[in-house]
Amino acid sequence: MSGIPSAWQQAADCLAEAGCETVFGLPTDEPGLLDAADAHPKLRAVGVRGHRAGACMAIGHAVVTSRPVVLALGAGPPFGDAVTALIEADSVCAPIVVVTTRIPADGLGRGGFQDVDQAALATAFTSTYLRVQDAGTLTWALRRAVHMSLNGRPGVSVVEVAQEAIEAAVPAVVPADGPAANGPVRRLRSVPEEPELRRAARLLAAAERPLLLLGGGARAAAAGPAALALAERWGAPVMTTAAGRGTVPENHPMVCGSVGLYATPPLDSVQCGADTVLAVGSRIEETARMGWDTLESVRLVQIDCDPAAFGGGAAEPVAALLGDGEATLARLTPLLPEPSPERTDWLRTVARARRTAWLSWSADGDRAGSPARTALHALAELFPDATTVHDNGMNDIWSYHWPVHQVGPRGRTVVPGEQTMLGFGAGAAPGVALAAEGRPTVVVCGDGGVEMGLDALPTAAELGLGIVLVVFDNQGYGWPRLLRQELGAPAGLTRFARPLPVDDVVCGLGGQAESPDGVDEIPAALRRAREAAASGRIALVRIRVPDDDVPPGIRRLFLAGGQAPGDAS
């Protein structure tokens, strides 16, 4: 590895041994960690066009693989450019190890070139910030960072490597294949003590109208089968947060979509009707609480691997079970009695609400001619095996609503967290596609979102990653436009006078772009997009959407009157 400092070669060896496989980053002036990763037989180096885009790709890759992913940054502006996405990474609990450089010590606080207090910036997204002043502590810091990114509440860890440490002679270490090598860092799993489980089981057994709520932590713990086993034993419907979608297949008769902002009428009555909630891997953030007026009065039992999650978003739980979601559910289920006859009426009520939602909002019953919903129904049919990467514009929020968009047993989703940064979908997609395992990768976003994530597309094209971009085009920013119109405020600034020629960019990268003339042409356009993506090309389908096609959660919670078209009365 000629020209690559030995410190970076040692770092690459250490990260590979610790279980990392992929390093995202921009090339630095002198060969650095990205170059060392590129030369390493067990690492994959992915060069990106923007630091924020690279961080988004790292999120997507980490969420899909549940493995630690490395983001290589330089001092100063590169670190600052990535901060927005790293705040999102913290929100979604993505295990990311940031390895950044630091300027020479004699420039600190003296106007040194690109001198920034990176540790101060990092307080927004991590509590693990390790400084390497001496080459002898480099491997310790890297393994520690990987461990902290995976365990407890997963998230971002930062290792700041001083310039002096990079230039110093590196002490000899045990070869990565030597007998004393520690091997990959493991995710540690624990379960609560038996008395705590039995107490929680007694509380759950007393429920008349139970509800099982699955968050992103349940998905990360692969808790789906254990969750369904408990739901069937307990006699409880299952709902998810946005991040929890994909934990269980949404075609299961006990699964009733998502809660809060993303609850599809009349399934909001299920969340509000529950008297006991078992929440797994969720802090129950604001979007999950929206419209859930009864949440503060329910009997809440929480399972989480992070003590800070208990009572963090909702009321203090009556039982807090600290442990791995899958393992704790598996231990809890046999402690529950069979469902009591009193729950029969509740399950019938839930079944009626689920059927009404299906008849109103699925492809079988939705006849409103909505371009966005037509596209999402077609995606469910044409891409049942896809990983859908969501953004959080206005019209693409339809994709968070079951059964408008359904995540079946072969599908999975990647969503932004509570920060909901615009441009996340297109930004994260190449990282998701790298871990696709033969699945299509589909981004659902708005025209504003695809413009903001545009710098991720060259990376996808260079790597031959076939990505389908479904772009709901409302000529600008739909969220602020809607809310301004509701307030009677000027909305002119929310419209794009000169949209970026995104379609031309996609075609210039060897992809294809088309805009169906009407809703009847949307399925065929998506079918052609799948064929193009299968050959390793980017395929964009631009769908014009009207301003008044507002998802029901937004209409219910943000607009006067509150009832969405198709809502059950």
What are 471-530's pLDDT values in tens digits? Answer: 999 999 999 999 999 999 999 999 999 999 999 999 999 999 999 999 999 999 999 999
The three-class DSSP label of residue 482 is helix
Q: Omega before 95 cis (within 30°)? A: no
Element (H, E) at 78: helix 77-92
Q: Give CA–CA dist 492/511, Å, rounded.
A: 32
Q: Give CA–CA dist 182/159, Å, rounded.
A: 20
pLDDT at residue number 181:
64
Q: Which two tokens stand for residue 513?
A: 């772009």
Total residue count of the chain as it appears in this document:
569
What are 274-314's pLDDT values in tens digits? Answer: 999 999 999 999 999 999 999 999 999 999 999 999 998 88
pLDDT at residue number 566:
39
Rounded alpha-carbon distances, angstroms, from residue 257 to 151, 212, 358, 438, 488: 29, 12, 11, 26, 33
Top-confidence residue, 339 or 26: 26
Are 242 and 219 contacting, i.e. CB atoms less than 8 angstroms apart?
Answer: no
What are 30-52's pLDDT values in tens digits? Answer: 899 999 999 999 999 999 999 99
Residue 528 CA to chain centroid, in angstroms? 27
Q: Give CA–CA dist 472/442, Å, rounded.
A: 13
> What's the mean pLDDT when you consider all of the chain?
93
pLDDT above 90 (res 350): yes
pLDDT at residue number 235:
95
Top-confidence residue, 366 or 89: 89
What are 94-116's pLDDT values in tens digits? Answer: 999 999 998 777 767 777 676 78
Rounded alpha-carbon distances, angstroms, from residue 157 to 71, 144, 247: 10, 9, 26
What are 427-462's pLDDT values in tens digits? Answer: 999 999 999 878 999 999 999 999 999 999 999 999
pLDDT above 80 (res 191): yes
What are 161-182's pLDDT values in tens digits? Answer: 999 999 887 776 655 554 346 8
Closest C-alpha to 359, from 265, 242, 261, 246: 265
Q: Which domains does the chain have, with CATH numbers?
A: 6-167 (3.40.50.970), 194-357 (3.40.50.1220), 362-558 (3.40.50.970)
Instruction: Calculate what percentage of the chain has a pLDDT beyond 90.
Output: 84
DSSP structure string for 185-215: PPPP-----HHHHHHHHHHHHT-SSEEEEE-
Region 315-335: mean pLDDT is 97
**Confidence (pTM):** 0.94
